[in-house]
Amino acid sequence: MGCCGRKEFVSGSSSFENCLCEVIRVIKDIQDAGAEECATCATSCFLEPLGSLVNPARRTPIDTRVIVLLTKEGCPFKVQDLTCSADKHEEEFKFFRIEEILNGSCCVTLRALRKLHTTSPTTHCCFEATDVCVTVDISCFCAVQCVADCFLDLCD
């Protein structure tokens, strides 16, 4: 499966199988290493190095490219914090960080990110990491939108 449930997506003479899987792999590679390259779209998921979505000349370390995944209906994919705790209210998350791509497949572990109302002095962005992780088949989604580059101080 790839590109919104179609086995193969054809655009012109090019053929793409699991196109979203490839985009996710590139984002993960950029998060892990980052090589310099120019791009024309200011929010392109392919912008390198990591940090280019905010400011390519920024000196603050960056370790996360925040993404939103879109379903075939065009709606953001969301997960809930299902932790059983009396002091917690149910929370929904639509922003994610790519944690791991399992054995080069389209199976990806994502960490949910909480959007903050202001920039956090510890993360230097308006997101913070949660303990909510989910494993998904990326080929079941139609699009990925890159939102921001942040420093969340997470170990790789």
Q: How far apart are CA 93 and CA 132, in angstroms?
A: 9
Q: How far apart are CA 7 and CA 9, in angstroms?
A: 7
Q: Contact 4/75 with Cβ under 8 angstroms? A: no
**pLDDT for 15:** 43
**DSSP letter (8 states) at residue 6:** B
**pLDDT for 119:** 67
pLDDT in tens, the chain (156 residues): 344 554 444 434 344 456 788 888 888 888 876 434 444 576 778 777 787 776 655 556 788 999 999 999 999 999 998 777 666 677 899 999 999 998 878 899 999 999 998 766 655 688 999 999 999 999 999 999 999 998 888 765
Q: How far apart are CA 30 and CA 49, in angstroms?
A: 7
Instruction: Examine residue 49 and say whether the peptide bond preceding it is cis (omega within 30 degrees of 0).
Output: yes
Amino acid at 123: T
pTM: 0.74
Q: Contact 92/79 with Cβ under 8 angstroms? A: yes
